[in-house]
Amino acid sequence: MSSRKWDGHFVPPDAVQATGVGSLLAVHALAGGFRGVVPGVGTAGPLRSPRDLAQSDPRLLEVLFLDLLDLGYYMAPRGYMALSLALTRDQLADFVRAVQQVLRSRAALWAAQ
């Protein structure tokens, strides 16, 4: 996915990443918004090791959590999720669209600095 420009702000394609195994995952909201969160880190890159989580911003994760909750999707405030095998492709696609909606509506926060 390439960067998207919403409301004049470019949102990096890797602003939200997930790690996990099977149906268990953790969502990571990465730096690129909230100027000065992680000195020297602009646009987040792909997560490859636990050390890369220094790019995470708990404030962005909280925004994601609250906005998704408002849209009817629950994940633990710390970003934990468990996917059910009973979920359909359409339901998963709806969730992806909800995340995109949050990124779009909060583009100024998520934008790469």
Integer Cα distance of 111 and 37 in angstroms = 13
Q: What is the pTM of this model?
A: 0.74
- Each residue's pLDDT, cut to its tens digit, for the chain (113 residues) gives 444 544 555 566 677 888 888 888 888 887 654 333 333 344 456 777 888 787 788 888 999 999 999 999 999 999 999 888 888 999 989 998 998 888 888 878 866 54
- Residue 113 in any domain: the answer is no
- The enclosing domain of 72 has a CATH number of 3.90.1150.10
- Residue 112 in any domain: the answer is no
Domain residues for the domain of 79 are 4-106
- Please name the helix (run of DSSP H) or strand (run of DSSP E) that holds residue 58, with its range, or none: helix 58-70
* Residue 93 backbone phi and psi in degrees, to 5: -65, -40
Domain count, the chain: 1
- Residue 85 in any domain: the answer is yes
- Residue 111 in any domain: the answer is no
